[in-house]
Every structure is written in C-alpha cells, then in structure tokens.
Chain A
Amino acid sequence: MSLAAAAAAGLPQALGFARAGGLGQGGAPIAADPGHGFLSPTGVEIAFLLVGLVTLGAAIVTVTTRQLVHAALWLVVTLGGLAVEYLLLTAEFIAWVQVLIYVGSVVVLLLFGLMLTKAPIGRSPDADSGNRWAALTVAVASAAALVWVVVDAFRTTWIDLDGAAAGSTEVTGKALFQNWVLPFEALSVLLLAALVGAIVLSRKAKATTTDRPGARTESGTPSAKEPR
C-alpha cells in the first residue's frame, strides 16, 4: 500500500470519472470469482473475523453491563476494534480519524458526562429499563432479518483488497477536496452551529433564573416583588 502507487492509481481514476461524467459506465457487477470460497478464507478474512468477534463482544458488553463507567471503557474497545477493521479494509485515513475523534474525544466526552451526572461507581441495579425483553426481541428479530438479507444479497461478492489502497490519506484527500468541498464547508458551519448550541444549552439555566424575575415584574404579579 505505498502512497505513490495509490496516487498513481487514484488520479487517472478521477480523470476518467470526470470524462465519463457519471457512474453509469462503470457499474458492472463483479461475478463470483472461482478462486474465492468460504472454506478457504484468506488471512485478511481470518483477521477481520477475529477482530470482529472482539468488537462485537465488546459492543454487547457495552450495552449489557451494569457498571456505567465500564460501559464507556468497553466502548473504547469497540471503537478501537472498528478502527482495526477499517485498517484491514485499507481505509487508513478513516481508521485514524476514528481513533482521533471517537476514542480520543467522544469517549472522553461521555466519561465527563457520566462524571457530571453523578453516575454511581460500581453496579447500578437500574441500568436497564423495564422493557428489556421487548428490546431484546426487537434487536434479535432485526438482526436476523438484516443478516439474512445481507448474506442473501452479497453471497457472491468479493472485495478486491489487492493493489493500491482504496482509502489512503492521499486518495481520500483528493476525493474530499475535488468532489466534496461544498459539503465539507457546510459541515464546518454545522460544527459551528453545534458549538454555539452546546454553549447556549449549557448557559440556559443561569439565563432563565436571571430572566424570570424581570418577566414577572413586567407581568405585574405581586409575588414577583419578593427578593430572590
């Protein structure tokens, strides 16, 4: 997965795409390659399967454990496992963004939230609500349906992981800044709006306590004259 090879493969693809002007010419489905098979998995598949089992196990522990802080720490394992899966799928940039954003900031935010809401250390008996069995039924049913549909649809589909990496930093950066500039900029506006919104939400309690006596004196309620 050398970067130079990725760049050499990525640029002609982009040019060819711009010339063709659409996705229509390249939509040929990949038929089953006789070289592949379920019974002879490659090393990448075995690694993906093992990391996937760890990831899924950590996810299940995350949603079932009764210790709230442990749930956040198992979430780290899940997100890190997903980053490894991205690396196995040759999407390097996404993997490091996943590590930076999710493991670095989102989990820290969640831990801060647990701390600020005075989450109990140790087992909390009421971590699960009363509709647990209904939730389990819904989850198992939807998992069965989704797995059935997905396996049935993509039974004969293989990802070609050889050659240049499909998600190296250079390829991703070129795609992002050639074709996705406008959504990228819109996203920065969204992040700014989220920043302002979080600040406003955090300041809201103080603002209402200072606003409310003034509003009451305007409405002329006698009880509003009492000192607060």
Chain B
Amino acid sequence: MHLAYPAVLSALLFCTGLYGVLARRNAILVLMSVELMLNAVNLNLVAFDVWLSKAAEEALHSGQALTLFTIAIAAAEIGIGLAIVLAVHRNRGTADIDKLRDTAEGHETDGPDSDAPAPETAGEKAEATA
C-alpha cells in the first residue's frame, strides 16, 4: 500500500478535528473534535509503524505501543474533560464555551456572570470586604 493513503487521510482527519475544535460552541462537541485529532495521530502512528517494521526491521513496534498509550490517555482525557464540563454546567447552567469569559480581558460588563454572580466570586467579595 502506498504510504500516502494513510498519511493523507490522517492529515485530513486532523484538520477536520481542528475545524471542529475552533468552530464548535458546545464543550462536548469540542471534546469530540479533540478525539478526532487524536485518532488522526493514531492512524499516522500505526501506518508508519507498519511501514518501518518491514522497511527498517524495527522490532520495537514503538508506533503501535504509542498508539495504545494514546488511546489510554485519550480515555483518561475524555473522563476528566467530561467531569470538568459537567462541573461547569452544574455551576453555570451552560456548557457553551463562548459564555465562559471569566478570564477574558475587556469583557467585564457583558459577561454572563455580571447579572448573576457565581457563589465563589460572591464569597470572595464577602471575604474581601470583611
């Protein structure tokens, strides 16, 4: 098989995931796009490992081992990411990453927390005034 086929497919999948990460608004859809990018990298790793195991007689199988590690790390990442998204959704009532602008500069007035401050900021203000 020509090596360009898996390499090109991997590049296109990566850029699809890149578009999803940049263009999506829901945090869970962003996580899905991150999974797409990780899978593109996995395909690259497997393809180059299969190539090198025959071409260079590389017996470490580092590509496939790294693919397994990437899959495990992706599983851990999706668990932590979903826990964060659920915590944010529980505190703020939304999972839209456009509306989470607490650390953004120059948007202090039109943030979603200006009308309904979060309990943490209220507690900090109370402690600061006390």
**Nearest CB in chain B: distance from A5 CB, A:** 14
Task: Report the separation of the CA atoms of residues A105 and B5 in the bound assembly, to the nearest whole angstrom.
Answer: 28
For B95, list chain A residues within 8 Å (CB).
117
Q: Is B107 an interface residue (CB 8 A)?
A: no
* Residues B1 and A161 in contact, CB atoms below 8 Å apart: yes
Task: Report the separation of the CA atoms of residues A179 and B42 in the bound assembly, to the nearest whole angstrom.
Answer: 19
| In the complex, per-residue mask of B109-129: 1 if CB is within 8 Å of any chain A CB, else 0 | 000000000011001001100
* Residues B78 and A159 in contact, CB atoms below 8 Å apart: no
Task: Report the separation of the CA atoms of residues A29 and B48 in the bound assembly, to the nearest whole angstrom.
Answer: 13
Chain A residues numbered 104-147 whose CB sits less than 8 Å from any CB in chain B:
105-106, 109-110, 112-114, 116-119, 124, 126-132, 134-136, 138-140, 142-143, 146-147
A residues adjacent to B (C-beta < 8 A)? 10, 13-14, 16-17, 23, 26-30, 36, 38, 41-42, 44-45, 48-49, 52, 55-56, 59-60, 62-63, 68, 71-72, 75, 78-79, 82, 85-86, 88-91, 93-94, 97-98, 101-102, 105-106, 109-110, 112-114, 116-119, 124, 126-132, 134-136, 138-140, 142-143, 146-147, 150-151, 154-155, 157-161, 163, 166-167, 171-172, 175-176, 179-180, 183, 187, 190-191, 193-195, 197-198, 201-202, 204-205, 208, 212, 216, 219-221, 223
Interface size on B (CB < 8 Å)?
84
Known: A88-B1, A142-B15; 9 extra A-B contacts, CB below 8 A, are: A10-B59, A13-B57, A45-B2, A98-B42, A114-B28, A154-B3, A159-B1, A160-B55, A176-B65
For A134, list chain B residues within 8 Å (CB).
22
Query: Which residue of chain B has the shortest Cβ distance to A174 in the bound complex?
Result: B61
Dominant secondary structure of chain B at its interface with chain A: helix
**Which of B72, B79, B130 touches A109 (beta carbons < 8 Å)?**
B79
B residues adjacent to A (C-beta < 8 A)? 1-9, 11-20, 22-29, 31-33, 35-36, 39, 42-43, 46-47, 49-51, 53-62, 64-65, 67-69, 71-80, 82-87, 89-91, 95-98, 119-120, 123, 126-127, 130
